[in-house]
Structure 1
Amino acid sequence: MRLLILGGTEFVGRAVAEEASARGRRVTVFHRGRHAAPPGVAELLGDRTADGGLDALEKAAGDGGWDAVVDTWSGAPSAVRDAAELLAPHVRHHVYVSSRSVYADPVPAGLDENGPVVDASPDDESGADYARAKRGGELAALAAFGDRALLVRAGLILGPHENIGRLPWWLLRVARGGEVLAPGPRDLPLQYVDARDLAGWTLDAVERGLGGPYNVVSPPGHTTMAELLESCVRVTGSGAELRWTEPETVLAAGALPWTDLPIWIPPGEAHDALHQGDVSQAVAAGLRCRPVAETVADTWAWLRGLGGEPPRRPDRPRLGLAPEKEAEILRSADR
């Protein structure tokens, strides 16, 4: 298989590139040159948002093309459209890594791929609204490739090379030791996917010629907040003490779910929307998810090997609870 990845140097795109290379596939990554490409892949340089930014891609496509392309773009859908239109005559299969965020609110527990989606356009040039940007990207892929387009609707993605900062923040916080605010309940179920499992399933799906939308995230309850944070304590060896705190106390103190306390969303509609999606179609198509302890351990090993700050996408806010705010909440929980 000849595989083209638009991006391919960070997180999900990198996981796909590394997995494809490990399988002996011929991998080409098209990127802006801001980050080192994985070893052993061919590189094309260009900025898809600039005038003439697809020139290198167009030339390479004319020299033979590829069996499949994987696009992880999360900005303006027009960038997905332009690349897809250019590649359609030269590529057999298109994979767009989308998101379960495309489903229209309210998103009930158990929603499958047939749920209603947000209104969007493949011609949107702003990409400011994440849900509409991802849906617009889907529409762009479908317009150019039809049933040759696979829409990978991921949810929460964790694992090595994460550049959002969710699991890295928890690992680094736990590694500092002491009392750690652990937002409850302990048995709060979590639904996520390791980027490497996402990559493996995606490549399998391409080889099988699958098309259409798939929710690609672990089955609901694959792990819990307790399993996740206790794994962080074990792998860091910090001896940190997890102070489990009721959601009401955390929220009353003004701590924000998802941003101040990454990954965590208290029980309710928002939690059901993110952590209770129907993934039976992807599971039937071969999705297998590794244990959370493995994801946590491998992410910690990667962080320790960096020798500095973990990477962070400039278009995403910095995550995590300030130490003084954490101490304040823990004091209030003692009262």
Structure 2
Amino acid sequence: MYKRQAYGREKIPKREDETPLADCSPEQAVDDSDATYGPRKAEGDRAVFAAAERGVRAMSVRPCIVYGPHDYTERLDFWIDRVNRFDRVVVPGDGTNLWHRAYVEDVASALRLVAEEGDAGEAYNVGDRRLVTLEEMVTLIADQLDTTVEVVTAGPRELEAGSIEPDDYVLYREYPHVLSTAKLAALGWESTPIGEAMARSVEDHLESDRDGSEHEPDRESEERVLGILDTF
């Protein structure tokens, strides 16, 4: 699961100048696959730093999971669709999972600000200044849909009833992934209030044909989990 991260070590929070980058072998550098995504991102940062040493005004901007309108990955759409269609939503684990996310417009503003005000050879993390857990995210979606939802948390044993693994859920990460954004904020950057960002995301979802159905698990599998939990 952690192969997607350019950072080479799990820390809370991850700071640009303190948390080591992942290693990248010559073989990984030319392997255009998901398995080498993180190492190749790290190698890209090292190329930026090397360019800066040669006098190039080069900086690295490191967004975490990006969400917002027109998101072709449909990661957030999966959860919006669940909340919009059902009054009970299964959340893996205990609901306190933290995977840092970044609103798309804030990533754009960060790119411009770093280009204008950043220091050559530096890296800048981008992520919401206010983080929400997975359960809080579901509740926030419900607020924007003007509805209520029962969040049903389920551990690995309960999820087995639907042949589901916790990692099957998009935007779930067992170990917290949190970035420090203080360095970017010191340039004057601010993130969009989380409620406003989610409102725009939900509005765009409702106007689109995205439903996140390409992501697992399907609702039928979840219904089996809910059935087991209802017998407890």
Identical residues among aligned pairs (%) = 24
Q: Secondary structure at the match of 2:152?
A: strand
Match of 1:323 in 2: 219
Q: Between Structure 1 and Structure 2, how many residues are aligned?
A: 221
Q: Which is strand-richer, 1 or 2?
A: 1
For residues 161-240 of structure 1, the aligned pairs below 5 Å read: 161-211=70-120, 212-219=122-129, 222-237=131-146, 239=147
How far residue 281 of structure 1 moved from its aligned partner, in angstroms, is 1.7
1:137 is aligned to 2:33: no
The equivalent of 2:21 in structure 1 is: 117
Instruction: Give, in whole Å, the separation in 1 of the partners of 2:166 and 2:216.
Output: 10
Matched to 1:117, the amino acid is L
The residue that corresponds to 1:256 in the other structure is: 165
User: Offset of 1:143 from its aligned partner?
Assistant: 4.1
TM-score by length of 2: 0.80
Aligned to 1:309: 210
Q: TM-score, normalised by structure 1?
A: 0.57
SS of 2:205 mapped into structure 1: helix
Structure 2 match to 1:22: none
Is the Cα contact below 8 Å between 1:100 and 1:215 reproduced in 2? no
Structure 1 stretches of 5 or more lacking a match?
1-98
Distance 2:46 2:207 in 1: 39
Q: 1:167 offset after TM fit, Å?
A: 0.8
Tell me which residue corresponds to 1:294: 196
Taking structure 1 as reference, are residues 121 and 142 closer, same or farther at Cα in structure 2, changes over 3 Å only?
farther
Q: Give unpaired runs (5+ residues) of structure 2.
A: none
2:11 to 108, 116, 122: 108
Cα offset for 1:231?
2.1
Distance 1:144 1:121 in 2: 20
Match of 2:32 in 1: 127
Task: Tell me the amino acid that sits aligned with residue 309 of structure 1.
Answer: R
How big is each residue's C-alpha offset from its partner over 1:224-279, in whole Å with a ceiling of 9 and x where there is no partner?
Answer: 33331112223334x46323214344555553345x3221234xxx22xx1x3333
- In structure 2, distance between residues paired with 1:135 and 1:324: 39
Cα RMSD for the two superposed structures: 2.9
* Paired residue secondary structure (1:223): coil
State whether residues 159 and 225 of structure 2, in contact with CA within 8 Å, keep that contact through their aligned partners in structure 1.
no
1:242 aligns with one of 150, 162, 187: 150
User: Distance in 2 between the 1:296 and 1:108 partners?
Assistant: 27
Which structure carries more relative contact order (alpha carbon 8 Å, separation 6+)? Answer: 2
CA distance in structure 2 between the partners assigned to 1:318 and 1:304 by the alignment: 17
Distance 2:195 2:72 in 1: 20
Higher relative helix content: 2
